[in-house]
């Protein structure tokens, strides 16, 4: 699967529980929408993924990538009810970084 470099870096950071590397995939003013909440900017994104990593220990296995729409389908496994689940990651990229990410089922 041909993933953009920043999305490969995001998957690697998620699977290594590297909160700083995860946040560094985003622009300074990025937005992440997940579970009904919006996280604004790198600091909030790093805090959000840090809490999520501690609570869920989720790892990501890419399943498919729609290049025309920048949507990654991935299997997420962790310490949460119903694991594993398939989620969709809707990306907007800017200058090699993630500007916007929305995570859906």
Tokens of 94: 């800017």
**How big is the CA angle at 40 (ends 34 and 43), to the nearest 5 degrees?**
105
Token code pair at residue 43: 């600091």
Residues of the chain with pLDDT under 50: none
The predicted structure's pLDDT at residue 46: 98
User: Are the beta carbons of 25 and 43 closer than 8 angstroms?
Assistant: no
Residue with tokens 């041909």: 2
Distance (Å, rounded) from C-alpha 1 to C-alpha 8?
10
């Amino acid at each position: 699967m041909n993933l953009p470099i920043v999305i490969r870096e995001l998957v690697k950071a998620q699977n290594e529980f590297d909160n700083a590397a995860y946040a560094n995939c985003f622009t300074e003013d990025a937005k992440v929408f997940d579970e009904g909440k919006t996280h604004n900017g790198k600091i909030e994104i790093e805090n959000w993924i840090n809490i999520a990593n501690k609570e869920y220990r989720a790892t990501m296995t890419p399943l498919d990538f729609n290049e025309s729409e920048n949507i990654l389908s991935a299997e997420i496994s962790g310490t949460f009810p119903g694991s594993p689940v398939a989620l969709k990651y809707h990306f907007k990229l800017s200058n090699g970084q993630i500007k916007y990410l929305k995570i859906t089922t």
